Structure 1
Amino acid sequence: MRRNLFTGLFPQGYLALMSDPAPAPVPSDHPRRYELANELHARPFPEVSAPCRAMYLAFKQPRDAATRDRAEDRAHLVVLLDRFGAPHPKPGATHWIGRLGRHTLKWECHTEFTTYTLFLDGLEARPFDPADYEVLPANWLAAAPGLRIASAMIRIEVLENGAEEAVAERLDEWFVAESLSAGYVLDEVAIVASDFRIDTAGHVRFALFVRPDVGARRIGRIVQRLTEIEIYSAMSLLGLPRARDVSARMGEIDKQLVTLMSDLTGDSRPAEEALGKLLNVSAELENLLATASFRFGATAAYEAIVHDRVRVLRESRFAGRQLFSEFVSRRYDPAMRTIRSTEARLRTMAERAARAGDLLRTRVDVERQAQNQRLLESMDRRADLALKLQHTVEGLSVVAISYYALNLASYATYPFYEAVGLSKGLATALLTPVVVLVVFLMIRRIRKGMH
């Protein structure tokens, strides 16, 4: 009875489908679906256990770094891995992390630079000892495809309970007090500190003190953010020298532009001459804008990353020291504002030059139209004169043609004049008005036919 009731509620086709379901069709994937998904996991955070230390290096080619041959960066990494017998990264890889002898190496290939982060277990006897870099072969460092744009040493210690006062004393010993920045991060699970100065060995120093219960992945995230603050602040500041060069040239161009624009209200020079000079100025401004746009755009992107990395640290005050965010606001942001203002000024000047060019072109067009109008008026006067001259010539031509026609008519009619007893003079006089009238009517008819 239960079977009958069940079959009565559902159709037979539905029961057959439920008892033996067919496999659902699999939709086709976008050709880049997995590539895009894997991009989210392309650069995992390293796992770091305290106490330890880290060394960070970033190389950048001085020119056209974004269009460099990245195979050279990978080949340089492979040379180092072969020194230690480590496995190679996959072809086309932009990230590699693994063991390098007794240490851990993380390699990343970015748009404009390549970074190496080496993690060494334990602490050196001398804090921030540059001898740690001897782990990397000197000839390998010298053969790097690019120049060093960033170099940092990070000392990672365990923060014992109640050791904050000792930490403050050590920070005063390690760093320059005038630019020292330090603070609790991530809800006071760690203390980070740096003075962002390059020491005599050419490295920026960072100190990280973590509580004993902080996990290795979390420490790795903090270290990653510190290194990103260092490299992205350096990369963004590359726009400052460029902005200064552009600003100096803009000062010279601005004087020319002001002079040329002042000529718009006067007649000190021909408009076409001023237009030619203004077009040269506008072309130079557009060239400056084109050559600097990539650097300024990259600066804006790197600046956003720096502020994001500082923000995610979630800082709080430690021992009255300034925070990373305060250091960035006081020392870093003014440079970024200079770059932004230079870019805005350059765009404004290019727009001013374009507007001035439009005005001058309008003035040249008006002057040319006036010249054309005067030319047309002179042509009209000449046409009138030609018409009058034509009428005069036509009158003279009637007389001339009539003269020759009268002579011919006279010769043709002389025999008849003698027969009727008319003299030659009287006969010519009688023929003259007839011939003139006939010639006049003939010329008039020809003219009407032509019109």
Structure 2
Amino acid sequence: MVAQSGGMLMREGPRRFADHPLRNAALHEVHARPFHMIEAPRLVLHYAFMTDTAQSDAARRNLAALCLRIGEAQPGPEARHHVVALAGGSLRWESHAEFTTYSWDVRGGTGALPAETPFGAAFEPPGPLMVAARLDLVADLRPPAELFAGFDPGSLAASQAAGGRALIATDFREDGDGFTRLLVVDRGLGPQEAGPLVQRLLETETYRVMAMLGLPEAQRLQPEIRRIETQLVDDTRRFRSGGGFDTNRLLLDDLTALAGDLEAGAAESAFRFGASRAYAEIVSLRLNAMDEQPIEGYSSFTAFLARRMAPAMRTCLTLEQRQQDLSRKLARAAALLRARVDVELSQQNRALLHSMNHRARLQLRLQQTVEGLSVAAVSYYVVGLVGHLAEGAPVLGLHIEPTTIEALAVVPVALAVWFLVRRIRRHHADGGEA
């Protein structure tokens, strides 16, 4: 930017704006886990350990301590990947959502393992082992039949990759050292092509195993789902046959319990099934990125994994769909049964109110009868008092027949008592205080 000041031209630097808190993370994510350029002959040992947050943090601290001892740069407190030169090769550490991986590559090839590796007695695994793979990158022009002789022919998968400049093969079985063997034959690869190909193969093996974790979960849940489906059919049949309020209430309790069991299983398996789908999709993406081409007489990686992984993924998907369908069916059945229970409860309440009204009317009649008797009794006593007063009239010089006075007092006294009782009843009926 050029500005004019006092007749002179001044050049200003670009204006610096305030960064968004996530800008740095978004910019650098594209450079996360970069490809490591390698060339044949090369041996790669790859491990994946299941880790939670605490175990992943412990693995980072252990790696930082190792880097400090050997004088290498340490990973940052929030680092998700780190590369360090170790034991004559390169050790790559990566932290993922639910697992941590270590990949160590060194110059070598097919044959015995090196005497010294980073995974000796001093190595502290951060969690239980899930993946152990050995990849050999070699430059060899022999025919495929000779190159693949060490693999199990019954489960061998082999293909051309990188436009035919590489052969890849594996039988997905463990060798005597506990590794799944992967072979990459360099037929013209450059270091910038060999590194991505090796990394994608290792990622394919890792995510293939991780995706299969959904199958045991689906197999574990199948008997429970079947039990809930059978119980729902029985409860629906009992619902159709009808029943009283108590029967329907018990059915509703059964449906609520079944829904609770189903939702508990769905909550437990939701992450596992979702992760398996994501891992299977990553496997497919990695296979597509390798530009795989079939070799005559051999099953390709894509075909082999589709034949073995696809049924497992369909099992997980089918069970997840059964959970969702069963949840909707339980909700509809519970809603219908709840409506019937509400109707029956309303009928019971109406009958109860009718009975209460009937009892209230009876009490009112009884009260009216008691009021009438009370008026008569009180009037009788008041008239008696009037008669006693009349008997004392001669003392005052009055000569009045008491019987006559009592007879004349009956009607006024009865009216007065009736009026007083009626007023008291109205006062109480209006909620007033006595």
TM, length-normalised to structure 1: 0.84
SS in 2 for 1:359: helix
Name the counterpart of 2:122: 140
Q: 1:412 aligns with which of 389, 409, 425?
A: 389
Name the counterpart of 1:68: 54
Q: 1:95 aligns with which of 64, 67, 81?
A: 81
2:374 corresponds to 1:384: no
Name the counterpart of 1:267: 243
Residues 16-25 or 335-344, more deviating:
16-25
How much has 1:379 moved relative to structure 2? 1.1
How much has 1:123 moved relative to structure 2? 2.7
Name the counterpart of 2:169: 193
SS in 2 for 1:91: coil
**Residues of 1 paired with 2:157 and 2:357: CA distance?**
85
**Residues of 2 paired with 1:446 and 1:71: CA distance?**
83
How much has 1:205 moved relative to structure 2? 1.3
TM, length-normalised to structure 2: 0.87
Contact conserved, 1:80 with 1:140, CA < 8 A, in 2?
Answer: no
2:301 corresponds to 1:324: yes
The structure-2 alpha-carbon separation of the partners of 1:227 and 1:394, relative to structure 1 and needing over 3 Å to count, comes to same
**Residues of 2 paired with 1:36 and 1:277: CA distance?**
50
**Residues of 1 paired with 2:28 and 2:36: CA distance?**
17
The structure-2 alpha-carbon separation of the partners of 1:396 and 1:20, relative to structure 1 and needing over 3 Å to count, comes to same
**Residues of 2 paired with 1:434 and 1:81: CA distance?**
116
The structure-2 alpha-carbon separation of the partners of 1:107 and 1:86, relative to structure 1 and needing over 3 Å to count, comes to farther
The structure-2 alpha-carbon separation of the partners of 1:116 and 1:423, relative to structure 1 and needing over 3 Å to count, comes to closer
2:10 corresponds to 1:25: no
**Residues of 1 paired with 2:281 and 2:312: CA distance?**
14
**Residues of 2 paired with 1:325 and 1:334: CA distance?**
14
**Residues of 2 paired with 1:18 and 1:239: CA distance?**
72
Residues 367-376 or 352-361, more deviating:
352-361
Contact conserved, 1:58 with 1:113, CA < 8 A, in 2?
Answer: yes
| Structure 2 counterparts to residues 230-379 of structure 1, below 5 A | 230-265=205-240, 266-267=242-243, 270-379=247-356
Amino acid at match of 2:310: D
Amino acid at match of 1:291: E
Name the counterpart of 2:411: 433
2:158 corresponds to 1:182: yes
Tell me, which stretches of 5 or more residues in structure 2 are unaligned? none
Contact conserved, 2:67 with 2:74, CA < 8 A, in 1?
Answer: no
**Residues of 2 paired with 1:402 and 1:417: CA distance?**
25
**Residues of 2 paired with 1:23 and 1:105: CA distance?**
42
Name the counterpart of 1:3: none
SS in 2 for 1:123: coil
The structure-2 alpha-carbon separation of the partners of 1:14 and 1:88, relative to structure 1 and needing over 3 Å to count, comes to closer
Q: 1:396 aligns with which of 373, 376, 399?
A: 373
How much has 1:17 moved relative to structure 2? 9.7
Cα deviation per residue 1:69-91 (whole Å; 9 max; x = unaligned)? 323212443566578x3614323
Contact conserved, 2:86 with 2:118, CA < 8 A, in 1?
Answer: no
The structure-2 alpha-carbon separation of the partners of 1:35 and 1:424, relative to structure 1 and needing over 3 Å to count, comes to closer
The structure-2 alpha-carbon separation of the partners of 1:18 and 1:231, relative to structure 1 and needing over 3 Å to count, comes to farther
**Residues of 1 paired with 2:106 and 2:147: CA distance?**
21
Amino acid at match of 1:146: G
Residues 302-311 or 245-254, more deviating:
245-254
Contact conserved, 1:58 with 1:149, CA < 8 A, in 2?
Answer: yes
Tell me, which stretches of 5 or more residues in structure 1 are unaligned? 1-12
Name the counterpart of 1:151: 132
Contact conserved, 2:49 with 2:126, CA < 8 A, in 1?
Answer: yes
Cα deviation per residue 1:312-333 (whole Å; 9 max; x = unaligned)? 1122221232211111211111
How much has 1:337 moved relative to structure 2? 0.9
The structure-2 alpha-carbon separation of the partners of 1:18 and 1:192, relative to structure 1 and needing over 3 Å to count, comes to farther
Amino acid at match of 1:67: T
The structure-2 alpha-carbon separation of the partners of 1:198 and 1:396, relative to structure 1 and needing over 3 Å to count, comes to same
Name the counterpart of 1:52: 42
Name the counterpart of 1:9: none
Identity across the alignment (%): 34
| Structure 2 counterparts to residues 158-169 of structure 1, below 5 A | 158=139, 160=141, 163=142, 166-169=143-146
**Residues of 2 paired with 1:249 and 1:387: CA distance?**
60
Contact conserved, 1:240 with 1:339, CA < 8 A, in 2?
Answer: yes
SS in 2 for 1:149: strand
Cα deviation per residue 1:53-77 (whole Å; 9 max; x = unaligned)? 22212222xxxx3333323212443
How much has 1:181 moved relative to structure 2? 1.4
The structure-2 alpha-carbon separation of the partners of 1:441 and 1:110, relative to structure 1 and needing over 3 Å to count, comes to closer
Cα deviation per residue 1:155-181 (whole Å; 9 max; x = unaligned)? 222254xx5xx123322x122222211
Contact conserved, 2:159 with 2:293, CA < 8 A, in 1?
Answer: yes
Contact conserved, 2:379 with 2:414, CA < 8 A, in 1?
Answer: yes
Cα deviation per residue 1:369-414 (whole Å; 9 max; x = unaligned)? 2222122111111111111112211221221122112112222234
**Residues of 2 paired with 1:18 and 1:384: CA distance?**
108
**Residues of 1 paired with 2:31 and 2:248: CA distance?**
61
Structure holding more helix per residue: 1
Amino acid at match of 1:116: Y
